[in-house]
Copies of this chain bind each other. A is one copy, B any other.
Amino acid sequence: MPSYAAPVKDMQFVLHEVLMVSTADIPGYSDLDPSFTQAVLDEAAKVAQDILAPLNGAGDREGCSLENGVVRTPAGFKQAFETLREGGWMSLDAAPEYGGQGLPYLMHSVVNEAFVSANMAFNMYQGLTHGAYSAILVHGTDAQKTKWLPKMVSCEWTGTMNLTEPHCGTDLGMMSTKADPQADGSYKISGQKIFISAGDHDMASNIVHLVLAKAPGGGEGTKGISLFIVPKVLVNDDGSLGARNAVSVGKVEDKMGIHGSATCVMNYDGATGWLLGDLHKGMKAMFTMMNEARLGVALQGYAVAEAAYQNALAYAKDRLQGRAVTGVENSNGPADPLIVHPDIRRNLMEQKSFVEGARALTFWGATLIDRAHQGDAAADGLIGLLTPVLKGFQTDKGFEMAVQAQQVWGGHGYIEDSGMSQFARDARIAMIYEGANGVQALDLVGRKLATDGGKHVMAFFDIVKAECKAHDGDDRMTGLVEPLKTASKQLQQAGMYFMTNGMKNPNAALAGSYDFMHMMGHVCLALMWVRMAKAAQDALDAGTGDRGFYEAKIATARFYMARQLPACGMHLARIESGADTVMALGPEAF
C-alpha cells in the first residue's frame, strides 16, 4: 500500500522564504506567520495522512454504486467526511458571516494540496461544494446567500456544477436543458446533465446543484444560458428540509480513475430552481468561478504527482537490483538500491523538480487570486493569463510524472496492489475536466494573450525580466538566470510569431497553441526555480543549520534548467513551422 507524508517543510519554504507571505502586504496575510501556518499544516498533515490516505486505495477498489436511486460512497468516506466537517477543514477560506474561518484562498490551496495528494477522489466532494459556494457568494442575492451558504460552508449540504450534456461539453451553446419560468418567480428545469461530480452521494443531507439552462428569450447559443440553483431536497422557509425535488441520478459512470468520486448522469424532470445572478448571463456567472476551479485542477496535477513521487522514491531507495556502474555501493547487500542507477535518478529528478516547481507556482497563483479578491486588477489579469498555463501544463506534466513514478516500480507498478497505477489513472482526469487541455491552450493563445491589449502577457514578461535583473552580478545565480532569459526570449519569439502570422491565418497561431502553453509552463517553473534557488542561497549565506535542504533546492534548480528547460527550443521550432503541415490533410484524407 502506498504511503504519504505531507511535505510541510517544503510548503513552509515556499510560503515564507520564497513568497514571504506574512510581509506580502495582502489583506488577511499578516496573520500568516511561520508558526501559524506550521500549526495549520501540521494538523492538515495529520488529517491527510491518518484519515484520507488510508481510504485512497480502498475507495479506488470499491468505487461508488447506485442503489435504489441513491449513490453509495466507498466504506469509510462518510465518517471521514464528518470528521473533516467537524474539524472545520471544509470552510478555511469561507466568509465568516456564513460560518467560514475567513482565511485567505492561499491557505485553502496549501491544505488542499495535502488532502488531494492523500485522496484526490474524496476531496472532490468538498472541492465542488467550494466552487458552488463561490458562485452563490458572488452572484446570489442576500436572501439566497443566507439560505444556502451556511450549510454549504459547513458541508452539511454539498454542491455541484452542471454544465455538460451528452451532445455538448466545450460548446455549451448547443445546450438543450430548459428553464421554464413559473408564476412564483421560480423555474422548472428539464434536461439531462452528464459528468456531474458529486452529483449524488450519502455524505450530506442535501445537495445544491448549480445548473446551466436556457430560459426563454435569451437568443441563440451561449447568450440564452442562465444559471440556476436546483436543490436535491427543497428547503422550507424556516431552513428545514422539505419535499424531494424532481432531480434524479440516471447512472454512476464507470471511469478510468477517481473511482471514489461519484460521477453522475443527472436527470432534471421539471425540477424547481431559482435564478442565480442575471437572466441570460449564466455563462458569465460560471466564468467568474473558472479561474479558481481551474487552479484547483492545476493543483490536482502536481498533488497527485507528489504522492506518486514519494512512493517512487521510497521504492528506489528500498528495492535492490543491479550494481552501480561506478562501483558497488551497498556491499552488505545482494545488490544496490535502484536509486544508484543514473536513469532512475534522472526519472526521480524530473519528478522532484516538477512537483516542487509546480507547488511554488500554484501557491504564487493563489496569492494572485487573493490579491484579485481585494480588487487588484493587475493580479486579476495576470492570474487570468496564467490559469490556462497552470491548468494545462501542470496536469499534463502531473500525469506524465505519475506515469514515470509508476515506471520506477517496474512490473510491480502495473499491479493494482502497488497503488502506483491508481495515481496514474486518477491524475489522467485532470487533463480533461474543467476544460480539456486543448481548450486551455485555445483560451491562452486565442483569448488571454490579447486580453486588454496584451497588457497581462507584457506584465508577465516584465516580471521575468525583473527577476533576472535582480540577480545581475550575482555569480552564483548566473547559471540559473541565463537559461531563464533564453527560454523567456524563445517564448516571446513564439508570441511574435503568432502576432505576425495569426492575423492573416488564425490557424498559424492555434496550431502552435499547445506548444505555447507548455513553453510558458516551463518558463513559469524556471522563474519559480530561480526564486527558490535565491531563497535557498540566502538561507545558506545566513548560515542556516540545515544546509542539506537548501543545497538540494539549488541542485534541483540546476537540474530543471539543464534538463527540462531545453524543451522550450523544441516547442519554438514546432510553433514556427506553422500550420501548413498540421492542416495539410483535409478530414477526408486521414
Residues of A that sit less than 8 Å from B by CB? 164, 167-171, 173-174, 194-195, 253-257, 313, 316-317, 320-322, 325-326, 334-335, 337, 339-349, 352, 399, 403, 406-407, 410-411, 413-417, 421, 424-425, 428-429, 431-433, 436-438, 441-442, 446, 505-507, 510-511, 513-514, 548, 551-552, 555-556, 558-559, 561-563, 566-567, 569-570, 573-574, 577, 579-585, 587-590
Contacts and interface: CB of A to CB of B under 8 A. Distances in A.
Most buried by B among A339, A414, A563, A584: A414
A366 to B, nearest CB: 26
27 contacts: A170-B321, A171-B335, A173-B335, A253-B415, A255-B421, A256-B425, A325-B446, A325-B506, A325-B507, A325-B510, A342-B510, A342-B579, A342-B582, A343-B442, A343-B513, A345-B582, A345-B583, A406-B428, A414-B429, A425-B425, A548-B588, A551-B589, A559-B584, A561-B581, A563-B574, A563-B582, A566-B573
A438 B347 contact: yes
Given A326-B505, A345-B582, A407-B431, 18 more contacts: A168-B321, A169-B321, A171-B320, A171-B335, A174-B334, A174-B335, A256-B415, A256-B416, A317-B590, A341-B438, A346-B511, A348-B590, A352-B590, A399-B403, A410-B436, A555-B589, A562-B574, A566-B574
Contacts of A558: 580-581, 584
A375 B355 CA distance: 51
Contacts of A566: 569-570, 573-574, 577
B581 A407 contact: no
A583 B324 CA distance: 12
A41 B238 CA distance: 73
A552 B586 CA distance: 9
B342 A583 contact: yes
Total identical chains: 2
Name the prevailing secondary structure of the A interface residues: helix
A407 B421 contact: no
A233 to B, nearest CB: 27
Contacts of A442: 341, 343
B567 A582 contact: no
Contacts of A514: 343, 346-347
A405 B155 CA distance: 38
Contacts of A415: 253-256
A64 to B, nearest CB: 14
Per CB-CB distance, the 8 closest pairs between chain A and chain B, nearest first, are A562-B577, A566-B573, A256-B421, A342-B510, A555-B584, A559-B581, A570-B570, A342-B511
Contacts of A416: 254-256
A343 B442 CA distance: 8
Most buried by B among A171, A316, A556: A171
Contact of A589 (B322, B326, B552, B580): B552
A149 B436 CA distance: 52
Nearest to A572: B566
A337 B569 CA distance: 32
B342 A513 contact: yes
A358 to B, nearest CB: 17
A71 B442 CA distance: 49
A514 B408 CA distance: 14
A174 B335 CA distance: 8
Contacts of A562: 574, 577, 580-581
A453 to B, nearest CB: 20
A555 B581 CA distance: 7
Contact of A343 (B171, B349, B441, B555): B441
Contacts of A399: 403
A404 to B, nearest CB: 10
Contacts of A417: 254
Contacts of A589: 548, 551-552, 555
Contacts of A559: 581-582, 584
B438 A413 contact: no
A555 to B, nearest CB: 4
Contacts of A414: 255-257, 428-429, 432
A357 to B, nearest CB: 14
A548 B590 CA distance: 10
A313 B256 contact: no
Nearest to A551: B589
A437 B407 CA distance: 9
A433 B446 contact: no
Contacts of A313: 590
A249 B579 CA distance: 55
A551 B589 CA distance: 9
B411 A432 contact: yes
A563 B195 CA distance: 34
A227 B241 CA distance: 72
Contact of A326 (B343, B506, B581): B506
Contacts of A164: 411
Most buried by B among A313, A342, A569: A342
A577 B169 CA distance: 44
Nearest to A441: B343
A567 B581 CA distance: 16
A328 to B, nearest CB: 13
A325 B441 CA distance: 14
Contacts of A316: 587
Contacts of A322: 170-171
Contacts of A505: 326
